Amino acid sequence: MSLRRKILRLISVPKPYQKLCSVRYYSAQTAAKNDSEEKRKTHFGFETVDEDEKTKKVYEVFETVAEKYDTMNDMMSFGVHRIWKDIFMMRFAPTPGTKLIDMAGGTGDITFRYINYLRNKKNATAEKHSSVTVCDINPNMLNVGKVRAEKQGYLKDSPVDVDWLCADAEQLTMIPDESYNAYTIAFGIRNCTHIDKVLEEAYRVLQPGGRFMCLEFSQLPNPTMQWLYDQYSFQLIPVMGQLVAGQWKPYQYLVESIRQFPDQEKFKSMIEDAGFRQVTYENLTFGVCAIHSGFKI
């Protein structure tokens, strides 16, 4: 019996140490849990959701609106989005031999302007061949773009090679470093969960000297005009979505996502933090949207 007591004494842990160990274990568990919860939370419009849930919800939004996407863009902006995209391409001013990745470009609006721009350049076909990879996370949006490209003749006798890629802008693991010399993203980056990761990936896939260009909704510097714009956005755009596309919630989200996106100066700082230099921006229509540009140097 005395031998048994001695053995138990040797293998037992004193109570103070037991308490210390349990406190440390609980603290570590709690800290890890809190950290993971904080990392998982983000915004979906004005709603707070888990990060994984946002990716799914955004996917569902664009899956729902894909077929009416261009019609709704015309309705919501009274056709002005076409002018914004034309200006965006003029500021980009691609040259023959450009190797472009058009991110969130599923329906082809930017890609088709890129092809037209190069077609209109003198001797463009005689010079180096250009290319574009149209990339989107949603296959439904890509399918719309492919059908449009075929119907409108963008794939026939084109000075540009066109590829279609379904991929996440935050994880372009299938694309090697320094694969492109230009990266465009139009009205897409605000829908991404981690804007910083999108910018880091853009920097990675660009060659030294490559250019990053983003066209995105922004904030109006004039408070009165911002108020008027808010009234139009929140009171009318979801109604249009219901009447034209039979969808209210996706367009409510689109309006809210615009208000959650960083303003021009903050987004400029984020682009610089990703490594880009000579970062500038230009407001369009009083700041309803803005063009940001930067270079990998």
198: nearest Cα among 137, 141, 134, 143? 137
- Give the span between the Cα atoms of 106 and 139, in whole angstroms: 8
What b/e readout covers 79-89, taking b as 16+ CB neighbours within 10 angstroms? eebeebbeebb
Task: Kindly tell me the sign of the dihedral angle through the C-alpha atoms of 108, 110, 115, 120.
Answer: positive
- Give the span between the Cα atoms of 87 and 73, in whole angstroms: 16
- 136 assigned ligand-binding residue: yes
- 163 assigned ligand-binding residue: no
State which H helix or E strand residue 18 sits in: helix 15-40
> In this structure, what token pair is assigned to residue 26?
């609980």
Determine the 3-state secondary structure of 99 from DSSP: strand
Q: Say how many residues make up the chain.
A: 297
Q: Based on C-alpha coordinates, what's the Rg of the chain?
A: 25
Cα torsion through 207, 211, 217, 222, rounded to 10:
140
296 secondary structure, DSSP code: -
- 93 assigned ligand-binding residue: no
- 74 assigned ligand-binding residue: no
- Give the span between the Cα atoms of 215 and 236, in whole angstroms: 23
> In this structure, what token pair is assigned to residue 84?
């914004």
Residues of each annotated binding site for S-adenosyl-L-methionine:
107, 136, 168-169
Residues of each annotated binding site:
107, 136, 168-169
